[in-house]
A and B are shown apart, each in its own frame.
Chain A
Amino acid sequence: MIRRDLNGMTLLAFDWIFLIEKLVLIAVIITASLVIAMYETYAERKVAAWMQDRRGPNRAGPFGLLQPLADGGKLFFKEEIIPNSANKWLFILGPSLAMLTAMMTCAVVPWGSSLHLFGRVIDLQVADINIGILYVFGVVSMGVYGIMIGGWASNNKFSLLAALRGASQVISYELAMGISLIALLMMTGSLSMKTIVEQQIANPHWWNIIYQPLGFLIFFTCAMAECNRAPFDLPEAESELNMGYHQEYSSMKLGFYLFAEYINMFISSAIMATLYFGGYDIPFVNEASLAPNTAAILGVLSLLTKIFIFIFVFMWIRWTLPRFRYDQLMDLGWKKLIPLALANMLITAVVILLKNH
Chain B
Amino acid sequence: MQALTQRSRAVDRKPLTLWERIYLPAVLKGMTITFGHMFKKRPTINYPEKTRPFSPVFRGLHVLNRDEEGRERCTACGLCAVACPAEAITMEAAERKNGEEGLYREEKYAARYEINMLRCIFCGLCEEACPKDAIYLSETFAPSNFARKGFIYGKDDLLIPNPKTQPEELAKARGEA
Question: What is the predominant secondary structure among interface residues of chain A facing chain B?
Answer: loop
Verify A55–B35 contact, CB threshold 8 A. Answer: no
Verify A53–B42 contact, CB threshold 8 A. Answer: yes
Verify B31–A320 contact, CB threshold 8 A. Answer: yes
* Interface membership of A51, Cβ < 8 A: yes
Cα–Cα, bound, A51→B39 (Å): 8
B 138-165 to A, binary, CB cutoff 8 A, 1 in contact else 0: 0000000000000000000000000000
Residue of B24, B34, B43 near A51 (CB, 8 A) is: B34
Verify B31–A316 contact, CB threshold 8 A. Answer: yes
Cα–Cα, bound, A54→B42 (Å): 6
Taking residues whose C-beta sits less than 8 angstroms from the other chain, chain A's interface range is 10 to 19
Nearest A residue to B44 via CB reads A55
Verify B43–A53 contact, CB threshold 8 A. Answer: yes
Beyond the given A53-B42, A319-B34, A320-B30, please list 19 additional residue pairs across the A-B interface where CB-CB is below 8 A.
A47-B38, A50-B38, A51-B34, A51-B35, A51-B37, A51-B38, A52-B37, A53-B37, A53-B40, A54-B44, A58-B46, A217-B24, A316-B31, A316-B34, A317-B31, A320-B27, A320-B31, A320-B33, A321-B27
Q: Determine the chain B residues whose CB is within 8 A of the CB of A320 once the complex forms.
A: 27, 30-31, 33-34
Cα–Cα, bound, A51→B34 (Å): 5
Top 5 A-B residue pairs of the complex, sorted by shortest distance between their CB atoms: A50-B38, A51-B34, A320-B34, A320-B30, A55-B44
Nearest A residue to B33 via CB reads A320
Cα–Cα, bound, A317→B26 (Å): 12
Cα–Cα, bound, A53→B38 (Å): 7
Cα–Cα, bound, A221→B38 (Å): 24
A 21-52 to B, binary, CB cutoff 8 A, 1 in contact else 0: 00000000000000000000000000100111
Question: A-B pairs with CB below 8 Å: how many?
Answer: 33
Given contacts A55-B44, A55-B46, contact A50 B37 (CB under 8 A): yes
Q: Determine the chain A residues whose CB is within 8 A of the CB of B35 once the complex forms.
A: 51, 316
Q: Determine the chain B residues whose CB is within 8 A of the CB of A58 once the complex forms.
A: 46
CB distance from B36 to the nearest CB of A (A): 9
CB distance from A312 to the nearest CB of B (A): 10
Cα–Cα, bound, A217→B28 (Å): 13
B1-50 contacts to A, CB under 8 A, are 24, 27, 30-31, 33-35, 37-38, 40, 42-44, 46
Chain A to chain B contacts (Cβ below 8 Å), 25 pairs: A47-B38, A50-B37, A50-B38, A51-B34, A51-B35, A51-B37, A51-B38, A53-B37, A53-B42, A53-B44, A54-B42, A55-B42, A55-B44, A55-B46, A58-B46, A217-B24, A316-B34, A316-B35, A317-B27, A319-B34, A320-B27, A320-B30, A320-B33, A320-B34, A321-B30
Q: Determine the chain A residues whose CB is within 8 A of the CB of B42 once the complex forms.
A: 53-55
Q: Determine the chain A residues whose CB is within 8 A of the CB of B27 once the complex forms.
A: 317, 320-321
Nearest A residue to B27 via CB reads A321
A 299-318 to B, binary, CB cutoff 8 A, 1 in contact else 0: 00000000000000000110
Nearest B residue to A316 via CB reads B31
